[in-house]
Structure 1
Amino acid sequence: MDAWQIDRFVGIPYCPRHMDCADLAMQVQGELFGREVWVANKRPRPFLPAEQDAVISTYCDQLADLVAEPQDGDAVLMREPGAQMAGHIGTYFFVNYAPHVLHTATWMQGGSTLHRLQDLSGFGLTVEGYYRWK
């Protein structure tokens, strides 16, 4: 995928009620890949990061299958700094000769961003797995 196709998703402000990491992932799936992915709209939207992690992680097995080799558009499940379980989701892209993850979180100033996969650990993020949407 070309970087210019992803650029419009960079800088979207984070909002715990309307644009969290799951909302961004659903929007990207619909607009770039034509997939209708639903993480329940009426899902609990807790404000505390640990509670958000628990809600998102409960949906993983229902929505996607674990894969060893990610492809553009696959979900990247991550554990945030200090979290006991993985509950942060991003979208995998291979751009500019390197793997990247598009994601958003409360701690990301300026909104959603595209990080190189190798740089995620510098932000305290641990990749728990890659998932292909069902």
Structure 2
Amino acid sequence: MLDATQLDRFVGIPYCPRHMDCADLALLVQRELFGRDVVLAGKRARPLQADAQAAAIAAYCTELGTRTELPQDGDAVLMRETGATVAGHIGTFVFTNYAPHVLHTSHKLGGSVLHRVQDLPGLGLAIEGYYQWK
């Protein structure tokens, strides 16, 4: 179980669609907190339209991870916004303060936030799946 203080430096990072979107945060956390050097092949496309971004993120998850039903600290969390047909949001699973959480960022949040998994539906997010990084 991670200590919340280990996550503090990743909370409050301003969102930027070109330099710090949800995928950028996930890669940063993998590298700096979990010591994984996750690399996206070539230059990652940065679509600004929701549907295009959702398709890109879904492709990354299947390319970089294996779906799991028992998430562990550091696993990717693929999420779908209410009303969306395709999951287009990624975060990092952590178990801290005796509860499962997701560290993620979006334009709606304005910056990176640590949310309890049970609070995600109230934020308009549904978990599509958890993925262990390859």
After TM superposition, the score normalised by the length of structure 2 is 0.95
1:62 aligns with 2:63: yes
Residues 86, 128 of structure 1: 8 Å contact kept:
yes
Name the CA distance, whole Å, in 2 between partners of 1:116 and 1:93. 9
Q: CA deviation at 1:75?
A: 0.5
Greater shift in the superposed pair: 40-49 or 111-120? 40-49
**Residue of structure 1 equivalent to 2:92:** 91
**Residue of structure 1 equivalent to 2:75:** 74
**Residue of structure 2 equivalent to 1:21:** 22
Q: Percent identity?
A: 65
Name the CA distance, whole Å, in 1 between partners of 2:14 and 2:52. 21
User: Aligned AA for 1:126?
Assistant: A
**Residue of structure 2 equivalent to 1:37:** 38
User: Aligned AA for 1:115?
Assistant: H
Name the CA distance, whole Å, in 2 between partners of 1:18 and 1:117. 26
Q: CA deviation at 1:66?
A: 0.4
Name the CA distance, whole Å, in 2 between partners of 1:11 and 1:104. 9
Name the CA distance, whole Å, in 1 between partners of 2:87 and 2:41. 18
Residues 29, 36 of structure 1: 8 Å contact kept:
yes
User: Aligned AA for 2:60?
Assistant: Y
**Residue of structure 2 equivalent to 1:11:** 12
Q: CA deviation at 1:58?
A: 1.2
Unpaired segments of 5 or more residues in structure 2?
none
4+ runs of 1 displaced by more than 4 Å? none
**Residue of structure 2 equivalent to 1:131:** 131
Q: How many residues align?
A: 133
Unpaired segments of 5 or more residues in structure 1?
none
Residue by residue over 1:73-123, the C-alpha shift from the partner in whole angstroms, topping out at 9 and shown as x without a partner, is 0000100233210121000010100000000011113x1000000000001
Q: CA deviation at 1:4?
A: 0.3
Q: CA deviation at 1:41?
A: 5.8
